[in-house]
Amino acid sequence: MRRLAVLLSGRGSNFEAIADAVRSGRIPDAEIVAVISDVAGARGLERARERGLPAFAVERESFPSRAEHEAEIGRILRDAGTDLVCLAGYMRILSPEFVREWPGRILNIHPSLLPKYRGLSPQRRALEAGEVEAGCSVHIVNEGTDTGPVVLQREVPVEPNDTEESLSARILEQEHEAYPEAIVKVLARLADPPKIAPESVQRTAK
Ligand code: GRF
């Protein structure tokens, strides 16, 4: 079983899509071992509790520094035996030190066709720029903000009368499809057997 953790700060609809996909077997051989939020009152955290999943509030204000806040999150992730960390509306930038501890093992979803519109309010910026195509991207988290390698994207056409809300809602529907699909892809890569040269295999003499 692959062990997934989810970090979120708010609504948690992507977390719910992931949890549904784990439950239905769309993400096979996986379980959610921790749901962590920097916001104690986050709706997503409440939903995690309702589903009987291990839910942890780790508020930034409860720690003297960012490093100590992240250290606590790291401790929970390690204690849970996490294989893959899924950021799902987690509104804090993770430090380079934290990201380096989980190389290729942190995913994020962003509501734009990266590399376009990194950062905040990408749907509004896509509208303002007169884009005819918007969408979402799931990417591996590296040390930059929304700069890591893209795992997959889904396009969403911009309609003539779209508002930020209507476009965001249609992108969100696609996010809920894209995130589980991307997790399956990344888990398959993580599951690749390590490439051990035959001569390096240790044999024990009888
Ligand atoms: C989503 O639009 C996601 O792309 C962005 O934050 C939002 C989180 O929504 N990173 P939810 O909390 O998953 O409903």
Q: Is the CB of 33 under 6 A from ligand 1?
A: no
Residue 43 Cα to ligand 1 midpoint, Å, equals: 12
pLDDT class of 191 with cuts at 50, 70, 90 = confident
* Residue pair 93/141 in contact by the 8 Å Cβ criterion: no
Query: Where in 41-169 does DSSP place strands (E)?
Result: 55-57, 84-87, 106-110, 133-140, 150-157
Question: Which range is least confidently modeled, 47-61, 80-94, 183-197?
Answer: 183-197
Rounded Cα gap, residues 84 and 182, in angstroms: 12
Each residue's pLDDT tens digit, 20-45:
999 999 999 999 999 999 999 999 99
> Which residues, including other chains, have CB under 8 Å from residue 123's CB and lie 6 or more apart?
111, 112, 134, 164, 167, 168, 171
Which helix (H) or strand (E) element contains residue 185? helix 164-190
Residue 29 Cα to ligand 1 midpoint, Å, equals: 25
What pLDDT score was predicted for residue 203?
53
Instruction: Check whether 179 has a pLDDT greater than 90.
Output: yes
Each residue's pLDDT tens digit, 132-150:
999 999 999 999 999 999 9
Enter the tokens of residue 17: 């899509």
- Look-up of token digits 């294989």: 83
